[in-house]
Amino acid sequence: YLLGEFAFTGDTLFIESVGRPDLGQDAEKNAEALWETLHKKLLLMPDSAKILPAHYGGEIKHGMPVAAALGELKRSLAALSMQKQEFIRWVARNVQPKPSNFEAIKEFNKGLAELEAEELRELEAGPNRCAVG
């Protein structure tokens, strides 16, 4: 979603990698859909677009935005320059086990579970396990 110069990329494109297509079960099919989204939508945005992902795997500096210019990511993330079949193979080789809190997050997001504020902070503060690699 592009708003002015800001691209809200959710769990699709991160500063350090791309999103995990395997969490939806069919990794290969979803990896192809992810490649299509990246190459037919996100990578067509201006290189100056500021990418604002939903998660970050590094240490967050409070008060500082987690952002990078799309052009910078095109240069630094090899996955963004891969051809489709190479990308699908790369995803298949690099997916990690699902996070231990994956089911709890999924249940909460579906409105099937209630969590206390402290539990929510713990889930959000954890490392980014939504990225490939």
| Structural domains counted in the chain | 1
20: CB partners within 8 A, 6+ apart = 11, 95, 96, 129, 130, 131, 132
Sequence-distant (≥ 6) Cβ neighbours of residue 120 within 8 angstroms: 108
Alpha-carbon span 41 to 10, nearest angstrom: 14
Asked whether residue 133 is domain-assigned, the answer is no
| φ/ψ of residue 76, rounded to 5 | -100, -20
In a domain, 132, yes or no: no
Asked if the model's pLDDT at residue 35 lies above 90, the reply is: yes
CATH at 13: 3.60.15.10
Confidence (pTM):
0.78
| Per-residue pLDDT band at 132 (split at 50, 70, 90) | confident
Confidence of residue 65 (pLDDT cuts 50, 70, 90): confident
Decide if 130 is inside a domain: no
Residue 64 domain flag: yes
pLDDT-based confidence at residue 124 (cuts at 50, 70, 90): low
Q: Between β-strands 68-69 and 2-3, what pairing exists: parallel, antiparallel or unpaired?
A: unpaired
Residue 131 lies in a domain: no
Tell me whether residue 106 is in a domain: yes
Whether residue 13 lies inside any domain: the answer is yes
**CA atoms within 13 Å, Cβ hemisphere of 44:** 8
**Domain span including residue 51:** 2-125
Is 48 inside a domain boundary? yes
Q: Read off the pLDDT of each residue in 66-72 and give the average, rounded to a whole number.
A: 95
Q: Are 45 and 90 in contact (CB under 8 A)?
A: no
pLDDT averaged over every residue in the chain: 86
Residues 6+ apart with CB under 8 A from 54: 9, 10, 11, 130
Q: What pLDDT does residue 102 have?
A: 75
